[in-house]
Structure formats: C-alpha cells, structure tokens
Amino acid sequence: MTKFSNGKLRYLIELSGAGAILVGLIFVGLELRQNTAAMQAATMQGLSDSTTEYMLLLASDKELNRIMRKGRRDPTALDETESSQFFYIQRTRWLRFQMAFLQWRRGTLGDDDWSFYRRFACRGSDDVDWERQKSGLLEDFVELVETCNQKQGFP
C-alpha cells in the first residue's frame, strides 16, 4: 500500500469535498425545477377549477344565465338587482383573469398557461362592463388588458 503525503491527502480531501458540494448543488437545482413545475401545475389546476365552477354556475342557474346573456347584449336593459348580479358575475371573471396574471408574474404560472388566460383578458376591454370593472382591479393588470387589446388585437 502506498503512503500519501500530507499534501496529497489534503488535496484528495479538498477535491472530494468540492465534488460533494457540486453534487449537492446539482441535486438542489433539480429539486427546485421539480418544485417549480409542481407549483405551476397546482396553480393551473386551481385556475382551471375556478373556471369550471364559474361556467357550471352559469350553466346550472337559469336566472344567472339569463342575466348574463341580457347584460352582455345590453347592460342598460337590466333592472337594479340584475345589474348588481351582472356586475358580480363579471367581477368573478375579472378576478380570475387578474389572478392568472399575478401568478404568471410571480412565476407560479407558466408562459403557455398564461397565454391561454391572456387571450381572454385582452379581449376584455371591449367588454360591455369593462369601465365599471376596471376600477376594482390592479393598475398593472388594467394596463395590460387595455394595451394588449389596442396594440395586438386579440393575441
């Protein structure tokens, strides 16, 4: 068996330590990527569930469905109660789009998933109730909705 000098032994220990740190960093990087993917999937699932609930509500409640259709045709034809209901139905929709925007901006919603919601949000400034809705939404989101519609049409 060959004897190592103190210098060679120290060099091998330092090299082993550096290798272990490198392997640890690679592992942390892989775990971070997996965690990000899982978080993005969970965010998209939550938004998808919210969208499904919204659509099922309108599909299963004849009165809300009627108010929604009437309000989209002519919001001035709604009575006071219907106008209030229409506003809150629309508010739910806009808050969902805004949440998608916020999650995308924070990195918990991927670009491809955000582009799906962005298409709908960008059409929104043409919405019959947009002027009432935008005052309760974040300024950055309102700016996005209004500029993406003006600049690019419907992405």
Q: pLDDT (tens digit, 9 = 90+) per residue, 95-142? A: 999 999 999 998 888 898 899 889 989 887 777 889 889 999 999 999
Range of the domain at 85: 43-152
- pLDDT tens, position by position, 13-62: 888 888 888 777 777 777 777 776 777 777 777 777 877 888 888 889 99
**Is residue 102 in a domain?**
yes
> Which residues, 6 or more positions from 102, have their beta carbon under 8 angstroms from its beta carbon?
138, 141
**Is residue 15 in a domain?**
no
What predicted TM-score, i.e. pTM, was given to this entire model?
0.69
**Is residue 63 in a domain?**
yes
Angstrom distance (rounded) from CA 74 to CA 76: 5
**Is residue 7 in a domain?**
no
Structural domains counted in the chain = 1
**Is residue 22 in a domain?**
no
DSSP of 107-140 = TSS-HHHHHHHHHHHHTGGGSTTHHHHHTTS-HH
Confidence check: pLDDT of 77 > 60: yes
